[in-house]
Amino acid sequence: METIQLNVTGMSCGHCKSAVQNALSRQHGVTAATVDLERGTARVEYDPAAVSPAQLTAAVAEEGYTADIA
């Protein structure tokens, strides 16, 4: 398992936070995803053999937000 922190832009409310957290949690290989709305970050624990950082940022982008690796 590895942990990555993403900077997420575009979140402004609890719904945004939930959307990003759910998008990350749904990815195969993600065991935990915690989103901090105030800081604009997401901490993701994942299996690098199952999902890549690029797939994680793409999942966030599909929800309408921008994510990059911190």
CB 33 within 8 A of CB 42: yes
Domains of the chain: 2-69 (3.30.70.100)
d(CA 10, CA 1) in angstroms, rounded, equals: 28
What global pTM score does this model have?
A: 0.93
The whole-number pLDDT of residue 34 equals 97
DSSP-H helix ranges across the chain: 14-25, 53-62
- 64 three-class SS: coil
- Angle (CA) 8-13-47 rounded to 5° is 40
Q: What is the pLDDT of residues 11-52, one digit of tens each?
A: 999 999 999 999 999 999 999 999 999 999 999 999 999 999
Other C-beta atoms within 10 Å of 39: how many? 11
